[in-house]
Amino acid sequence: MSVKRFVLFIALIACALTASAQDELTFEPDTWNFGAIRESDGKVSHVFTGTNRTDRPIVILDVITSCGCTAPAFSKKPILPGRTTEIRVTYDPTDRPGAFTKRLTVYSSDRRKIAQLTVAGEVLPREKSTEELYPVDAGGGLRLTATTLPFSYVYIGRRAQSAVGYANVSSRTLMFELRGAEPGGPLEVHAPRTIAPGERGEIDLGFFVPADRPRYGTLKAALTPVIDGRASEVRLFVHGIAVDAPPAAGANSPVPELRIPKNIVKFGPVKRTDAGQRRSLTLTNGGTAPLTVRTVELPAGIGCSLRGGERIAPGADATMELTLDPSDRDFGPMSVHLLLITDDPARPMRRIRVTAVVEE
């Protein structure tokens, strides 16, 4: 018998055994559709009735669900030949709006799959409260949707825009401002001066780095809401990474490609008096155009030989030499990251991990 025929023979036997096992306990029907259910009405349940079609007792060992929102309840008593058993399936629609399909697999005491059940339906979402929609209490009757606004890449010469929602839940008009933005900096803030009672809206926040005045690397700001002249304890954190804009779609011009053999540099055990420890990492330009280093952001205690503006020719290598000053580090393991920004259009930002163990 050829190998292919043998494999096919084994597969057919496995399928036959599986089908036979699932015929032992049959549920009619084995699928139930709850239809449209309201989230506000809470949990819904359905009872499936199964029949033992064999000539021996069957014991259900477990019923495994595809989601924690679906809970089965069943008996582990032996099901005699020709007798029935019930499995109650309860579905919790809380915070799960929309259509759903959940499967449950029934296993016997000899750990075989003997049945599969399915429940389906559609959850009609409940109306959320103001506190749920605006979970951040900024004080003074003002609520916000979030405190962190992360931008991934901010492309030079292009605006990156997003917003934080607000709601005035008080009965008075609020005077509002945001403090902390750098005057003339890349962060743009558009916020109302006054917020009427019951008013809902958005605070527009974004970054813009002009192409004629590029600024590469981390962009961040911590903004303080001020309500009726009183600074809130809440802070709005906005951050992103400024990089070159990618080439236009369909462009076939040469591009650089940064290749790094590893993204970790290990100094190993070092003493706090061992200033000037050195390690190196090789960078390769695997592209067809010169690679330009835009900036290198370094954590405290780490030095780097690479500087913004350095170029690596196509196919060429460059050595990035790192130095470590452990004098201000706590004893024990150390793990920090440096940020390397280049004009590689595919991966303009790389994080390189630097580790050491600081000893006495």
How confident is the model over 233-275, as pLDDT tens digits? Answer: 999 999 999 999 998 776 688 999 999 999 999 999 999 888 7
Distance of CA 303 to the CA centre of its chain: 32
Burial class of residue 92 in the structure, from the number of CB atoms within 10 Å of its CB (0-12 exposed, 13-18 middle, 19+ buried): middle
Low-confidence ranges of the chain (pLDDT < 50): 1, 3, 6-20
What pLDDT does 274 receive?
81
Q: What is the pLDDT of residue 15?
A: 46
Q: How far is CA 83 from CA 19, 70, 78, in A?
A: 20, 26, 10
DSSP letter (8 states) at residue 58 = B
Where are the CATH 2.60.40.10 domain residues in the chain?
19-124, 145-243, 258-359
Question: In the CATH scheme, what is the homologous superfamily, with its name and number, of domain 19-124?
Answer: Immunoglobulins (2.60.40.10)
Q: Would you state the pLDDT for residue 19?
A: 43
How far is C-alpha 322 from the geometric centre of its chain's CA atoms? Answer: 31
| Pairing label, strands 349-359, 264-271 | parallel
Amino acid at 292: T
The DSSP bridge pattern shows strands 31-38 and 113-124 to be parallel
173 secondary structure, DSSP code: P
Give the number of other Cβ atoms within 10 Å of residue 9's Cβ: 11
Both structure tokens of 323: 């130095």
Segment 279-331, tens digit of pLDDT: 999 999 999 999 999 999 999 999 999 999 999 999 999 999 999 999 888 89
- Tell me, what's the pLDDT at 319? 94
> In one letter, which amino acid is 192?
P
Cβ atoms of residues 341 and 348 within 8 Å: yes
Question: What is the pLDDT at residue 2?
Answer: 53
Give CA–CA dist 266/356, Å, rounded.
6
Q: Which CATH architecture has domain 145-243?
A: Sandwich (2.60)
CATH architecture of structural domain 258-359: Sandwich (2.60)
Paired sense of beta strands 174-179 and 217-227, if any: antiparallel
What is the reported pLDDT for 330?
A: 87
Question: What local confidence, expressed as pLDDT, does residue 184 receive?
Answer: 79
Pairing of strands 187-190, 200-207: antiparallel
